[in-house]
Structure 1
Amino acid sequence: MQSNTFSGLFEGQNVITLQRTPSTNEFLKKELSKSTPLAEGTVIMAVDQYAGRGQKDAIWHSEPGKNLTFSLLLTPTFLNPKHQFHLTVAISLAVAQWLEALLKTPVKIKWPNDIYIGDKKIGGILIENILAGKTWKSAIVGIGINVNQTVFPDPISKQVTSIKQILHNDSNIPKLLAELCNHIGHAYQALKKESFDTLLATYRKRLYRFGETHPFLVDGVKVTGALAGVTEAGRLQIDFEGHVVDFDIKEIAFVI
């Protein structure tokens, strides 16, 4: 385990690098459960994360030393716990805007927080919130970005991409980490100061397949509808020929 710092909006941002761990989110949760004193903005970075998780307990496949796999500790006590989706919006926008500036190509957010280029996934976010009664104690923001990996397992090889596959050269992972955390820091500050309606409107415009008609799985049944948006609470809105229905993440799935 190695610890260092880089400058950012979180003063003296501490970066702890683990050579190998199942999950940076799980590592950070265990440290917090032991009452380890960790400042807001602490980053747990893994060289080899071999059991990373995504939404719905999906496994995140990452070749050791090739990708960004890290968790960021935040303490969003300024938000009401019922507004957990607000943090999802801010973090997702930060990642998408950072990647778009880096790659010079459009980047979309596949609801609620997968990052897509075209029809291929390049990254994902998993936010786990720790509440204390009616107070939001902390948020563990797990992020995985495909950077220098170019070969992926067969089941997903045609569904994913990486920074190297787009730029055709290797990237410096520590440098990318510092840049991305800086973007997240700015987005986090904006969440404190700006109207959430503005952030939500920007998020909606970035939604993967926004306004397009596609098949979805609802309770295992294939249906066709147009992605109409997302509610303030984070529920996906689908327009079925003029009848708009909103869904929780456990109720609907994209057909890719």
Structure 2
Amino acid sequence: MKLIKLDAIDSTNDFLKALSGSQELENFTVVTAENQTKGKGQMGAVWNSEKYKNLIMSVFVKGFITNADEAYLLNIATALSVIEALKKNNIKNLSIKWPNDIMSANSKIAGILIENSFKSDGSVFTIIGIGLNVNQTDFTDLPKASSMAVVANAIFDKEEILNLIVQELKTNLELIKLSATTLWDHYMSLLFKLGLPMPFKTQDEKTFMGIIKGVSAAGKLIVLLEDDHLVEYGLKEIQMLY
């Protein structure tokens, strides 16, 4: 693992993406930053993080998928890697809120953003961005956020956690080729609010009740509606109200 440490940057994903375009990077090149001024979440959402308290990292990987149909496996492998690293630090009540929020009970402690580049030669380069709330304890303006420190009432070594996440990533990304079904089964078992009646809201502010039944191969959320129809929803098409 090659590690590049930055004090401040607009986005570790953007930095690593630009670096990969200008030079040949080894697999699992990692960029971290103590402060990220333009942190990104899914679909352009903003990721806010207190300086020096949290783990902001991006990882360059290649050679694990060959086409867009396999892309969601990268999300699954990453989410499971963060979960496993947290478990090894005694963080409890962990689940994955579709598509890529890591929850402890009802609070978000990590977010994931994955960006793929499909090359003309058939290769796929991926930037895996992870924002993990580690030692931040003030979430005054973020009522649904929490951190490892809050959950476990302890202070953690961010570099140890980084190394653990990368170690888990190496294992889980290899499983894409060896046993993708194992990854899928583990991911499904950890879905936040799986099988429970939950309120949802559409883009046009309409609310409805539904039950999460799983996630499709394309990464869409499968919801059972009150009329017994199964409907698949893409990213940002619906929001879970919890």
TM-score range, shorter chain: over 0.9
Q: Please identify, of 109-118 and 78-87, the stretch whose mean Cα deviation from structure 2 is larger.
A: 78-87
Structure 2 match to 1:50: 37
User: Which residue, out of 226, 230, 233, partners 2:211?
Assistant: 226
Distance in structure 2 (CA, Å) of the matches to 1:77 and 1:172: 29
Look up the match of 1:182: 167
Distance in 2, Cα, partners of 1:253 & 1:136:
33
Q: CA deviation at 1:152?
A: 2.3
Q: Which residue is equivalent to 2:232? A: 246
Matched, 1:29 2:13: no
Cα RMSD of the aligned pairs, angstroms, is 1.4
Q: CA deviation at 1:78?
A: 4.0
Structure 1 counterpart of 2:192: 208
- For structure 1, the 5+ residue unaligned runs are 1-12
Which of the residues 88, 98, 114 maps onto 2:75?
A: 88
In structure 1, the partner of 2:181 is 197
* Cα distance in structure 2, aligned partners of 1:189 and 1:104: 25
Instruction: Give the deviation of 1:104 after TM superposition.
Output: 4.4
CA deviation digits over 1:123-147, x for unaligned, max 9?
0000000111372420000001000
Task: Measure how far apart 1:76 and its partner are.
Answer: 3.0
Report if the CA contact (8 A) 1:18-1:47 is conserved: yes
Paired amino acid for 2:15 = F
| Structure 1 contact 225–239 (Cα < 8 Å) conserved | yes
Taking only the aligned residue pairs, the percentage that are identical comes to 33
Secondary structure in structure 1 of the residue aligned to 2:23 = coil
- Unaligned runs of 5+ residues in structure 2 are none
The whole-number CA distance in structure 2 between the counterparts of 1:17 and 1:86 is 28
Q: CA deviation at 1:172?
A: 1.0
Task: Confirm whether residue 64 of structure 1 aligns to residue 64 of structure 2.
Answer: no
**1:14 maps to which residue?**
2
| Residue 49 of structure 1: how far off its partner (Å) | 1.3
TM normalised by structure 1 equals 0.89
The separation in 1 between residues aligned to 2:83 and 2:182, in whole angstroms, is: 16
Separation in structure 2 between the aligned mates of residue 168 and residue 105 of structure 1, nearest angstrom? 12
**Separation of aligned partners in 2, 1:29 and 1:255:** 34
* Alignment deviations for residues 199-247 of structure 1 (CA, whole Å, 9 cap, x no partner): 1121111000100111111232111111111111111000013211111
Native 8 Å contact 2:96 2:190 kept in 1: yes
- Equivalent position SS for 1:201: helix
When structure 1 is superposed on structure 2, of 170-179 and 13-22 the one drifting more is 170-179
